[in-house]
Structure formats: structure tokens, C-alpha cells
Chain A
Amino acid sequence: MSFKKTSLLLLVCMLGMSIMLAACGGGGGNDAAKTESKDKAEADSTKPFVLGETPLTFSFYGNYDWYTMNPWGQDPATKWIQENQKVTVQAIQSGGAALQKFNTMIASGQLPDVIWGDRGTDIEKLRKAGKLVALDPYLEKYPNLKKWAGEKTLNMLRSEDGKLYQFPNWYTKRPMGNGGYAVNNKIYKELGSPKLETFDDLYAYLKLVKEKYPDIVPFEVGLLGQGIDFLYAGMAEDRNVGQVSLRAVPQGNELKSLFSDPVYRESMVFANQLFREKLITQDAITQTRDQVKEKVNNGRVAIYGDFDTTVLGTEANSMLRAKDPGSGYTMIWPLHKTGVDPNKVWVNEYDSLGWNVSAITTSAKNPEGIFAYLDWLTGEEGERIIFWGPEGMYWQGTNDKGAPIYTDKYKNEVEERSKLMAIWDTFQWAGNTAFIDGSKAENEMNLPEDKRDWATVSQTAVAWKTSFDATEFGNIQPLPDSDEGMILQRVSDIADKVRAKALFAKDEQEVIALLDKAEQDAQKAGYEKLLKFETQKWQENLKKINGN
């Protein structure tokens, strides 16, 4: 008996101790942080922070499993920044476990000075807990973000309380994207270069390929069958690929179900037909990126289409051309159903907010200095240095638009340069799409036609022109820990499943039956409630964009 008692007592003690520990970990840090943030807002002096005068050091955390920041000051660009701007950044690495790392940082109250990650959940949580510094006081004092991102984009980034907490990365005012259909030149020529504009043309061409080249994949749709969504975009005017991953279709002022949408249904029936007749790669859903690369790089596909066409296509194109100048790929205008206006087919989408954001936390000792650095980084000088390195290496002087003028070293040292540019890529936290893409295009246009970069040519001629402005649909999805968030998770599962099942269906009737079932299941999960929530958010966005 006594032993049992002792052990029980021991357990109780342990539990008590641990709860005490929990108390100091969770609650304690909270209030302290809140008062601190207040102080900072008030201590805001009117004199702007000048980079290079006062040294600035801050810690930086990239909230992605795959992100590893290169060591600061070990390469020409950050070395230049360290010497001239006196800025030093200490990396906090996710080490492949971003989610857990992020949670432990919050739980222990030891936040990094800057968090760089996706808009939405994580950033929003920090904001609600009062852990982020509002950027509004600095906006007027530093020129670049305001100038390049513009008021509308900044409005969209504002949180519920009307303040701005997020510094955008790769924001843009003009269309962008990499997706589209690329045609294998060699096969196309050998088959007599038939007309390729409508889905009927596509079907006939794929049939022909299958017959004449049994070992060639007629239509390669890339990782996770991304190219299949292009069929949806081409089935009617002003549909865009993003609606498939949004799981909602706008109709008038409302968002409607994807599964009961006649256009989506038609596209799935068509996809099923192509897949059933083995005109689409049968590994569409399961293949790895390496497998896609292997097929495309060997010219073993007749038509290749996914969201990465200009990326994978460039590598494949140069590999194939090296062996046979007549081969390679050409990006064509997106295919569509007969009768659809080709200028209203959108196989890419972009939004003006760009990719992700940096947020400055209340742990930062000098939030204004950090903002000053990010603002410098997103301006012309900062972008040039972090993208092409310090002046004198790969560029010398600029043209009237601020675009760097490439040196011979840029053209000759391709391998070394690619390595450095990949390193610099990990320091681009405030990417300025308009400036970078514009500068690239300026330089590209100076080259003779056959020397131009395949990606740039394809992008300017096709991809960017077929990119849909989806800014109004940004951030309309609910937070995952809300009721609507749980519904979204379920609807997404249903949507992914039905998309794959429809491909493997044995006939048209089965596709329709599957979509009916999906609609039912989604409704049962609360789809209607989700669509209402998203409709409301969407309408709010429209108001913000229109400047109300």
C-alpha cells in the first residue's frame, strides 16, 4: 500500500511542477511583449533611419521546410551590403521542420526579428496575438515600397484592423506566369504542322501522334496532372486555372460550386476521354518531377503543358537543340473549345500581392531599421545588387530605365553566374517583379533572336498574355482552425479525389456520376457555408481594390 501511495504522490508532484513550468512558458511572455510593442510605436522619431550610418543587425527566419538561407557576407552581394550598408542578417534555419520550429518559437516567446513566409494563417495568428509591428508609420518615410507596390496592393495586404503588417515579396502590377502548352517542333514538323488552335485540333493531333509514334507521350500534363486544368480554362471564356484550386466558380456576385459547374463538368469529360484513349500520360497523377523532366528533356512528348512550362522547357529546349537545331519546343497560344474567344483563355494567373511576405515582430530592437533595409532592397539599387550582384561584376552602369547593362562576364561565365544567382535567390525577400522582369526584357531585346532566352521569349509572347489577374480572389480562404477551414479541408479532399477518379472513369456517364456524388458529399460537409464565407471575403476585396 505505502509504495502505491508514494508513487502516486510522486506523480502528483511531477504534474504540479510541470503545470508551473507551463505557466512560465506560455503566459508570462505575453504581457511583456504587448507593452513593449506599445513603446515602439510611440518611440517612432520623425528622422528616417539611414542605412550605412548606423549598423543594423537582425535575425531572420524563413518559415518553409525547404528554405535555407545562405551564410550572410560570404558572397559578393551580401558582402557588399555588409560593408556599404552595415546590415548583418543572422539566419534562423527551419532545418526541414518549419512547422515545429515556428511553434516552439512562439511557445517559448523567443520570436525572430523577421518572419518570412506565406500570407495567411501563421502571420495572421501572430498579428492577432499582438506580436507584429505595424508598418504604416514608415510607409511615408521610405520611398520604394509605396512607389512600386502601389496603394491598391498595400490596401489588399492590410489586416482587419486597417493596418499593414506584411511586406510583400514579388508583388507585381503586370501579368506573369510560366504555364502554357509547348509543342515538340520535330514531331510537329514531321506530322505536317497541322492547325493547333481548338480542342478538336488537339484531339486530332494527339490521335495522329499516338498512331505514328507509339512510344511518344502525346500530351504530357506534368506534375500532379497540372495540364489537365488547362482544359477547364479553355472550355469557356474568362475561366481560369486558379478556380480549380480555389474550388469555387464566380457567377455574378457569388461563388458557386465547382462540381456542379457545367464548364468544369465538360472539361472533366474531355480530360477523361483523352486519358482513356491514352492520349494523356497514364502516370499523370503519380509521377515525380524527375520523371517529367526525363521525358521532356529527351523530346519524348509531343505536347507538354503545366504551370512550369517555361522553366522545364528552357532546359529541355537547349538540350535538344544542342543535338539537332531543328528540334526543341515552341510555346503556342492556349487551346480552346471551338467558338471560344482565344483572347479570353487564361492558363496562368497572377495576383498583384505576389508570393509571400516578411513581417517584423515585436522582438525586433530596431523595426524601423529593418523596414528601411527591406525598402532599400525592393528599390532599384537593392534589387540590382541582390539579383545581379554588386556593380562591376556582371553588370556595369544602367540604362535610362534603371536596368543594369550586362558585361561580357555575364555572358561568358554562365556556370559560375548561375551558382551565385542561386545563392542570391535565398536573400530575395522583397522581390520587385516589375523592375526585375522589365530589366531582364530590356537586356533580352538587345540580343539577336537566336540568342534570346527561351523562357523570356515564351513568357513575353504567350504566357504573360494569357495570365488572369486574380488579385480579387486573394486571401478569401478561411483560416484552417475555423469551422469554415475544416469544411475547406474536406471539400479539397473531395475535389482532389474526384479529379483523379474522373480521369480513371470508364465512360462519360461515370464521370458525371462521380461529380454528382462529389457535389453531394461536399454539400454534406458544408460547402454552401464555405462558399458564402468566401463570397463575402471576395466582395470585401473588390471594395478594397476599388479604393473604398
Chain B
Amino acid sequence: MKNSFTDRIFLGLIYALLIIMAFAMLYPFWNSIVISFNVGSDTTRGGITFWPRQFTLENYNVVFQDKRLMTGFLISVLRTVIGTILSIVCTAVFAYGMSKRQLMGRKWYMILCIITMYFSGGLIPSFLINRELGLMDNFWVMIVPNIISVWNMIIFRTFFLELPEGLEESAKIDGCGHWGIFFKIVVPISGPVIATLSLFSAVWHWNDWFTASIYITTEHLLPIQTLLQQILSSNIMSEQMMQTNAAARSHMSQLQNVTTKSLTMSTMLVATIPILLVYPFLQKYFTKGVMIGSIKE
């Protein structure tokens, strides 16, 4: 009785805390949505909080009229799907191998991997190598160099190391090799970590604007985030204006009025909402007992 009473207080506190937190996190997003539906010139007067003051769809019309954004959207989807699948499959296999004690050279492999997390040659050498490999202005430049993520490998490996050892013994007796054990036993019970890292990888791919802006010149190969970045950067330039001369200031401020806050928000939302939808879809893999259930089968 006593336990359940403290339990209830405990739960009550948790719910209250979570609701407050959720509000603090939802508001800026909601506000961005509201601003994207408000008339641009009216937005500059401020004071828009929970609901648009002068409703309009104009900001979205502008976005959807821009043909570049639509192809950018398709490219983003394509690279995210292909990039994530390739990366997760390859990295998981890699991590499984790395989790085996009997792997010869395991320690050296690991050290070689970890060094790459901290030492990098910088952009210019990578650029020259990617160019030699024929990846310039090539869709695959957004995928191939990022297939193996050391960071993801380490997480995968940590999860694989936590698996009960007995699990694999039975399979070994059945005559399965490492590959067989991996695909038949390890993958089915690793739902949560695969879901998590797929999400991380997908989010990374979706949000990465930099790779394309360096390597891709053909306009219809640019992902949507690179295009969004162009719009966002045009909005922060006023901060850098101070350092330049008078003529620069006056002409930049003319340019600056082109993209209103409302338009920035609508573009941002169009570019963000698709990837937001991935998480709720993956959440079913986070339910307790996934692992045990599949073992019993």
C-alpha cells in the first residue's frame, strides 16, 4: 500500500514535469508554423504567438512554386533512403565483427578507427581524393564516403556486446557461421538499436547541406537542405554587414529584405517536416520485450 502511494506521487510529478517540458519544446516550433502562415510584412510588427494574425498561404505558394525545391526534396529523400540503408547494413556487419573477441587484430582495427574520429586531414585533401575517385558532381558523393560511421559502429558494438552469449551458442551448434548468426539471430533482436541508428543516420543525411554545396554543381542534384541553407544564410548576413563599407551596407540591406522571416519559416518547415515524421514511425521498435519475444520464437 505504502509503495503504491509513493509511486503515485512519483508518477504525478513525472507527468507534470513532462508536460511543462513538452510545452517549452513545442512552443518555438508551433510559433514557427504560425509565422509561416502569417503575412510577411505583418510579421515584422512582432507579437505573433499562438495564432496567425493575418492568415495567408502565400509563403507556401512561393516555396512550392520554386521548382528547385521540389527536385531538391526528391534528391533528399533518395539520398536519405539509400544512404541510410547502405550505411546501417555495412556498419552493423562491421560492428558485429568488431564485437567478437576472437577477431584477430581487433585492438588495432579499433585504434585505427578511433584515430579517425579525432584526426582529419581537412577539407582540401578530401576534396582532391573525392575528385580523383570521380565523385565530383556525382550523386554518390553524398553516400559513399559516409557509408562507414565509426561512431555508429561503436554504439552497435556496445549493444552487441550486451547480448547474452548463450544466444549464439545454439546457432553455432546448428552449423551457422558468423554471417548466418548475424542475420538470423542478432539482427532480429536488435530492433531498438537498429531503429535508433537508422534514425540518427537518416537525420544526418537529411540535414547535411555542406557536402552538396561543395561537391555538387548541377542544380537538380542539390538536396533541399542545401537550398534552405542558401535562404538562411541570406538572412544572417546583416550581422556581418558591419564590417564592410557603406556601399555594401546599403545594397546588402536591399537584398536582405527579399526573404522575409515568414518565407524562411515556411521553407524551413517544408524541409524539416518529412524527416520529423520518421521518428513516430520507428517508435514501435522501442517497446520493451521486443528482444525476448523474438528469442522465444
Contacts and interface: CB of A to CB of B under 8 A. Distances in A.
Query: Does chain A touch chain B in the assembled complex, meaning CB atoms less than 8 Å apart?
Result: yes
Interface of A: 3-4, 7, 18, 21-22, 25, 64-68, 71, 92-97, 100-101, 103-104, 107-108, 118, 170, 172, 176-179, 223-224, 226, 242, 245, 289-291, 293-294, 297-298, 307-308, 311, 315, 319, 348-351, 353-356, 422, 425-426, 431, 433, 467, 470, 474
Given A25-B128, A92-B217, A470-B246, 11 more contacts: A21-B128, A22-B128, A68-B234, A71-B68, A104-B123, A297-B45, A315-B41, A349-B245, A350-B246, A350-B247, A425-B255
A65 B237 contact: yes
A66 B245 contact: no
Contacts of B249: 178, 307-308
A153 B81 CA distance: 55
Contact of B245 (A67, A355, A426): A355
Given A176-B247, A298-B46, A425-B258, A64 B237 contact: yes
Contacts of B46: 290-291, 293-294, 297-298
Interface residues of B, number: 55
A448 B38 CA distance: 33
Contacts of A226: 242
Contacts of B6: none
Contact of B242 (A101, A104, A224): A224
Contacts of A71: 68, 219
A177 B128 contact: no
A304 B289 CA distance: 64
A94 B231 CA distance: 12
A17 B165 CA distance: 43
B251 interface: yes
By secondary structure, the B interface counts as helix
A258 to B, nearest CB: 16
B230 interface: yes
B172 interface: no
25 contacts: A3-B108, A7-B108, A22-B125, A66-B236, A67-B234, A94-B230, A95-B209, A95-B212, A95-B229, A100-B123, A101-B214, A103-B124, A104-B124, A108-B127, A108-B128, A118-B248, A170-B247, A176-B250, A245-B242, A293-B44, A298-B46, A350-B247, A355-B247, A422-B255, A470-B246
Nearest to A425: B255
Nearest to A310: B250
B232 to A, nearest CB: 7
Interface string B102-146: 001100100010000000000111011101100000000000000
Interface string B190-226: 0000000000000000000110111001010010001
Contact of B128 (A107, A293, A351): A107
Contacts of B125: 18, 21-22
A348 B248 CA distance: 12
A21 B129 contact: yes
A294 B45 contact: yes
Contacts of B250: 176-178, 311
B128 A96 contact: no
Contacts of B212: 95
B283 interface: no
A354 B247 contact: yes
Rank and list the top 7 A-B pairs by shortest CB-CB distance, nearest first: A95-B213, A294-B46, A96-B229, A66-B237, A66-B234, A355-B247, A25-B128
Interface string B253-288: 111111001000000000000000000000000000
Contacts of B128: 21-22, 25, 107-108
Nearest to B58: A415
A297 B44 contact: yes
Given A96-B213, A293-B44, A350-B246, A103 B254 contact: no
A307 B246 contact: yes
